[in-house]
Amino acid sequence: MFRSIVAFLGLAAAGIGIWLITTEQPKNAACNASSHGGTGTLSGTGIGVGTSCLNIVWSYFGGFVLLAFGVLTVVVALAMMRKTRRNKNPRRTEPLVYPYKNPLDR
């Protein structure tokens, strides 16, 4: 049960990461165009990035981090579930029989 919850949380993190990437992509492209002066090369003026563009870059980067973390979490949870299913029916062995000696018998 716990592994399924972890897998679901990993999927949720990956979904939020994908959502962040897709919503921030147009804003990131606009910031890249404005910081390069529209010519594709860096000009002598306006090389710095504004605070609004910096916030977009951080949320864009956060989307990639969440996506990677979510995918890694899902892979680990699925590997743990597979191992549990494979080992569900262990070999049946006879129980160990220990010789019992009553300490009161002398």
Domain boundaries, the chain: 2-39+49-86
Cα–Cα distance for residue pair 18/66, rounded to 1 Å: 8
Cα–Cα distance list, 64 to 18, 70, 97, 100 (Å): 8, 10, 58, 63
In order, the DSSP letters of 25-78 are HHHHHHHHHHHTTTSSS--SS--S--HHHHHHHHHHHHHHHHHHHHHHHHHHHH
Separation between Cα atoms, residue 86 and residue 76, nearest integer Å = 16
Task: Give residue-wise pLDDT tens across range 40-93.
Answer: 444 445 566 677 777 777 888 889 999 999 999 999 988 888 765 555 556 666
**Segment holding 84, helix H or strand E:** helix 51-86
pLDDT digits (tens, 9 = 90+) for 2-54: 888 888 999 999 999 999 889 888 887 887 776 665 554 444 455 666 777 77
pLDDT of residue 40: 47
pTM, 2 dp: 0.60
